[in-house]
Amino acid sequence: MSTDQQTTQTADLAWFKSSYSGTNGGDCVEVATTPNAIYVRDSKTAGNGPILRVDRAQWAAFVAHTAS
């Protein structure tokens, strides 16, 4: 996880939600990718909430752990 200051303009990121997310709002996370990092945010506070940035290796480890 990074605590470094943002170097990527998050407004330029292409955010997406899981295909399992409903269309009624609800509790969803959105994800955006860059060549070096994965960004995660709460869809309810997309415009002004915090954004978590993790590098691709950390994201791969997280996904592998949750899939098992």
Instruction: List pLDDT tens digits, range 5-60.
Output: 454 566 788 988 877 766 666 668 889 999 999 998 888 877 778 888 999 999 99
Determine the structural domain holding residue 22 and report its residue range.
10-67
pLDDT reported for residue 43? 81
In a domain, 53, yes or no: yes
Position 1 in a domain? no
| Predicted structure pTM score | 0.73
Q: Rounded distance, CA 68 to CA 29, Å?
A: 21
Asked whether the beta carbons of 34 and 45 are under 8 A apart, the reply is no
Total domains in the chain come to: 1
